[in-house]
Structure 1
Amino acid sequence: MDPAEPVSRALAANLRAARQARGWRLEDLAERSGVSRGMLQQIETGRTNPSIATLARICSTLGVSIGRLVEPPEELGHVVRAAEVAVRPAGAGGQARLLINDGRAELWDFLIAPGEELRSPGHPEGTGELLHVNTGELAVTVGGAAFSLGPGDALRMRGDRPHVYANPGAEPVRFTMTVIYGGRQDPRYAV
């Protein structure tokens, strides 16, 4: 494979996306940038690589950096496969799975058995949590305030205070939670 091929593919896709996000046709970008429609079409289909000068004119017109237009797709998103997710015990018969994180936020999937509870001393200052109950009943206590949630309910809460997640029901409770760090990330789950 030509080493420039991944860059050409990224440039083609990113240029097309940037142009379309502005509602511009190839003709519109050509007129604004001074780069011919034919050249733009060849770039967007990956049939040619523009000179730096041509790329600079296109980027200036779109208001984006050259780096942004040649950014490979893997920099735009990252997939974590189910088999890669670590499962941690959560009480007797429960589990906590850190599905994905990016250094600023974490997405968790929890399963808590009936009668079980999970306690947290609180995360770093400025941390918040968003919870969504999928199945079962969830009782949450944070900083002395109590919340009862059922299937489909969601809660936004402070994560920087001691908190408890409890299952008061007769069935397991499954919920997803996003932890959003306002300052530094909890070192226990750092990327």
Structure 2
Amino acid sequence: MSETAPPSAEDPDTRLGARIHALRAARGLTLEALAGRAAVSRAMLSRIERGESSPTAQLLGRLCGGLGITLSALFAAAEAAAGPVVRRADQPVWDDPESRYRRRQVSPAGSGSPVEIVEVEFPAHGRVAFDRQELPGTDQHIWVLEGRLELTLGEEAIRLEQGDCLRMRFGRPILFRNPEDRPIRYAVILGHGAAP
């Protein structure tokens, strides 16, 4: 009879769960309070924090909304040393288990910069939806590096071609869709402290 080994601290789900737990605790929120804010069940939130569940991008978006942070802030390592350079090999990467999109935190964490840069590799015909999230004073720019990206912001449909850049605010549901038969790449640039 073999025993299952506990999740490794190197396991992405364990690291992510610990990060969510730490952010929740730092805000003085109970499991019930964050679950209510994020519209997820307490049991699901508990499984995520214990590293027993691989949350989707949509679910993480809800949790970030409940915590009042961006996905970038969620993925930034709490203990990351501030520095002007982060090598590609050291940039945190996360794969959404549902849409299979890959998210790479490009900008150095802990630098105090009001700007964050994320690179997204989006699979052929991929789609991911995020619920409405309120983040006052935060802008995001979507810059298509390769391919074509379709977005729906609330009721507004927008098509971005390679090289196009869209500035938008949080506050509406967002649907990202890759209409291509091949993966595409885009950058998300977040600016904090922007004027309304």
* TM-score, normalization by structure 1: 0.50
- 2:99, 2:128 within 8 Å by CA — same for their partners in 1? no
Structure 2 distance, partners of 1:171, 1:162, is: 25
Q: CA deviation at 1:146?
A: 1.3
Which runs of 5 or more residues in structure 2 are unaligned? Answer: 1-81
The residue number in structure 2 matching 1:115 is 125
The residue number in structure 2 matching 1:78 is 84
1:128 partner amino acid: D
1:79 partner amino acid: V
Would you say 1:154 and 2:154 are equivalent positions?
Answer: no
The residue number in structure 2 matching 1:135 is 146
Structure 1 distance, partners of 2:86, 2:134, is: 24
Counterpart pick for 2:156 among 140, 145, 154? 145
The residue number in structure 1 matching 2:102 is 95
- 1:124, 1:181 within 8 Å by CA — same for their partners in 2? no
2:165 partner amino acid: A
Q: Could you say which structure has the larger radius of gyration?
A: 1
Structure 2 distance, partners of 1:99, 1:163, is: 22
The alignment yields a C-alpha RMSD, in angstroms, of 2.4
1:98 partner amino acid: Q
Q: CA deviation at 1:85?
A: 0.6
2:84 partner amino acid: H
1:112 partner amino acid: F
Q: Kindly tell me: are residues 149 and 86 of structure 1, through their superposed partners in 2, closer, same or farther at Cα, counting changes over 3 Å?
A: same
Which runs of 5 or more residues in structure 1 are unaligned? Answer: 1-74, 184-191
Identity %: 28
Give the paired residue count. Answer: 109
Task: Describe the SS at the equivalent of 2:193.
Answer: coil
Q: CA deviation at 1:104?
A: 2.7
